[in-house]
Structure 1
Amino acid sequence: MTNAFAFDAKQFDTAQLESLFFAPARAFAALSVDYSEKLINAQLEATKAYADTSVAQLRSLVEVKDAEGLKSYMEGQQQVAKELTERLKGDAEKVVALQQEFAQESQKLTESSVKQAQDSAQASAKEASETANKAVKEATAPKAAK
């Protein structure tokens, strides 16, 4: 008993499936993981810097013992605020740059995948056309010989 719907491994082109679907999916997944890793590292670095600054400020506050020390501490707060503002600006720029890089690389991957799919479709169409032409020639050749 033969099954008309049996899977024929000889007709299944795994290389084409790999190149059209799995390879681009893996490339995009790798790009996403790389982006996530860079973003997490940037966030961890920023968080550590802010935490270190906060702890340093708390230590400075604990050291205040008189009015002059409090005045000095308060004057230092302006500098700390300025430094934190600059740090925040730099961190935001870093995240924007990472997002732009990710978008550009994603676009390149997409364009490459689309081009590869178009090339593959054209090659398949050409192959199908050649096969059809060959079949027509073979089908008409015996008739001409008779």
Structure 2
Amino acid sequence: MKNTAEKASQQFESAMISPMRSYAVAALNYYDQLLNTQIDAMRAYTDMSMEQARTWLDVKDTDSIKKAMESQQKIAANLTERMKGDAEKVISMSQDFAQQSQEMTEENSKKANNVVATQ
């Protein structure tokens, strides 16, 4: 009776608990990376905005307006590039997480089928 209970406990651990733990670790890592990426992006966007605001505060004449306009064009180009890179990074992370999740699901389905087959 004791061996049966231990075997059932091990099967439950192998079929249910371990896969859920693996998925939880992968999900937690993904969301941690995603959050850090978003925080870094917001910091960079804020820095660019503050830099541009300071540039406009220095406007005193037509020459400084011209410089501010040129600066604004550079900032806009940098912002566009940064946003593109951030989007690509998030897409890549999401694809990796989806692939890991799919692989874990397939592996865990096989394990569950083996557990059922051995009973």
Q: Give TM-score, length-normalised by structure 2.
A: 0.92
- Distance in 1 between residues matched to 2:35 and 2:73, nearest whole Å: 29
The equivalent residue for 1:41 is 36
**Bigger fraction of residues in helix:** 2
Query: 1: CA distance between counterparts of 2:9 and 2:87?
Result: 44
Give the 3-state SS of the residue equivalent to 1:64 in structure 2.
Answer: coil
SS of residue matched to 1:69: helix
Distance apart, 1:120 and its partner CA:
1.7
| Structure 2 residue ranges without an equivalent (≥5) | none
The count of residues paired between Structure 1 and Structure 2 equals 117
* Structure 1 gap segments, 5+ residues each: 1-7, 125-146
Moved over 3 A (4+): 8-11
Q: TM-score, normalised by structure 1?
A: 0.76
Which one has the largest radius of gyration? 1
Alignment partners' CA distance in 1, 2:51 and 2:75: 10
Displacement, 1:123? Answer: 2.1
| AA matched with 2:85 | G
For residues 60 and 2 of structure 2, the distance between their equivalents in structure 1, rounded to whole angstroms, comes to 83
1:122 paired residue number:
117
Cα deviation for residue 105 of structure 1 reads 0.2
Q: Tell which has more relative contact order, 1 or 2 (C-alpha 8 A, sep 6+).
A: 2
Query: Is the aligned partner of 1:94 residue 2:98?
Result: no
How far does the alpha carbon of each residue in 1:49-90 deviate from its partner, in whole angstroms, 9 at most, with x for none? 000111111111111221110111012211111111111111
